[in-house]
Amino acid sequence: MRYLILEDGSIYAGEGFGSNKETLGEVVFTTGMTGYQEAITDQSYANQILVFTNPLIGNYGITLADYESIEPGIKGVICHQVANHPTNWRMQTTLPKFLDHLGIPGIQGIDTRALVKKIRVHGTLRGKIANSKEDAKKVAQELKTKNITRGTIQQVSTKMPYPVPGSKRNIVVVDFGIKHSILRELSKRDCNCIVLPYTATAEEILSLYPDGVLLSNGPGDPEEMVGATTEMIREVEKRVPLMGICMGHQVFALANGAKTYKMKFGHRGFNHPVREIATGNIGFTAQNHGYAVDKNSIDKDNLMITHVEVNDGTVEGLKHKKYPAFSVQFHPDATPGPHDEDSLFDYFMQMIDQRKNAKRHA
């Protein structure tokens, strides 16, 4: 038996799979019906225990081509059932073997519906995946004092710059915990990318003569980036076109005077409807975030809201009124999920080309 112990003292018993080690994490859930490998390897889940609402996962195995990061920061996986006999012509290993190799514990067989209902009512909870429930009361008390998600961007951001070669446009990517699918979308457009750590300064970025700068997704509290990172953004957005995704969206908002807040249980899944305000068009999006931009804090002299979430009205997109800079809370790269909004990468390319053409004719 293996157990999930929550900070409120509740205990869920199930069967273990993957690694047999014990671990702590913030317990969150995803509504995605597919894409378990991409979710598990998404660094935005760093220091979290992920509950899958889809009752069966692992049925098509694991393949190297679907990694979103090589060393994921996720702490644990919870589901109702893991497929016993996965099959897929692309498959290279099974989900339990994959998790065991990465040192990530999993639990199956618990009532995931009851667990998700608890999170929806009470909000995200800290939890421990344990091999015994003997010290459950002590564990619950300790969990209440733990700050599990602090400093996660520092953990997952690249320590050294690295290139993703291309020949058309020079893009500097600031890595807050990037999904590889973002780089794949830029590569499709033949961009020459240089990925820099989250600590990159405006001087370091501009010394690479970028045609554009992309702020990536990432885990944790965006307000931890207030200071050097927000100062960097304020300087860069004046000089070159800028695009922010997920964490990049939140930090872009903070740099321009807005505030963020922790959501009750966040948006995690691949079926979130988002309305573009200018057109009224609704696209379904992939999302993974536990914080959001406070719409009442937005300085309307600097920023305009471009997208909102249909279900709860949260801010899903921003655009700068003075500079060629914009951001979205969702993932236009999808992977997994709908590709309704991947044209935003094309919009970023157009913004870059217009800027380059204007400079040529100046």
Rounded distance between C-alpha atoms, residue 133 and residue 1, angstroms: 10
Nearest CA among 273, 321, 285 for reference residue 301: 321
Are 215 and 345 part of one and the same domain? yes
Neighbour-count burial for 217-239, b at 16+ CB within 10 Å, e otherwise: bbbbbbbbbeeebbebbeebbee
Question: Which tokens hold the place of 280?
Answer: 């009224």
Are 109 and 215 part of one and the same domain? no
Domain count for the chain, please give it.
2
**156 and 73 in contact (C-beta within 8 Å)?**
yes
**113 and 79 in contact (C-beta within 8 Å)?**
no
pLDDT of residue 360: 77
User: Which CATH number characterizes residue 271's domain?
Assistant: 3.40.50.880
Are 188 and 77 part of one and the same domain? no
Look at residues 89, 117, 149 and tell me which one is the last residue of a structural domain: 149
The angle at the Cα of 302, spanning 299 to 303, to the nearest 5 degrees, equals 75
Are 143 and 190 part of one and the same domain? no
User: Which CATH number characterizes residue 86's domain?
Assistant: 3.50.30.20
Q: What is the pTM of this model?
A: 0.96
pLDDT at position 361 over 90: no
Domain that holds residue 102: 2-149
For residue range 170-187, what is the model confidence (pLDDT) as tens digits? 999 999 999 999 999 999
Rounded distance between C-alpha atoms, residue 97 and residue 212, angstroms: 40
pLDDT at position 337 over 90: no
For residue range 58-108, what is the model confidence (pLDDT) as tens digits? 999 999 999 999 999 999 999 999 998 999 999 999 999 999 999 999 999
Are 137 and 160 part of one and the same domain? no
Provide the annotated active-site residues. 246, 331, 333
Are 347 and 230 part of one and the same domain? yes
Residues 6+ apart with CB under 8 A from 359: none
Confidence tier at 362 by pLDDT (50, 70, 90): low
**285 and 272 in contact (C-beta within 8 Å)?**
yes
Helices (H), the chain: 36-40, 95-102, 112-122, 136-144, 152-156, 180-188, 202-206, 228-236, 247-255, 343-360
Are 206 and 132 part of one and the same domain? no
Are 126 and 167 part of one and the same domain? no
Which is it for strands 11-18 and 2-6: parallel, antiparallel or unpaired? antiparallel
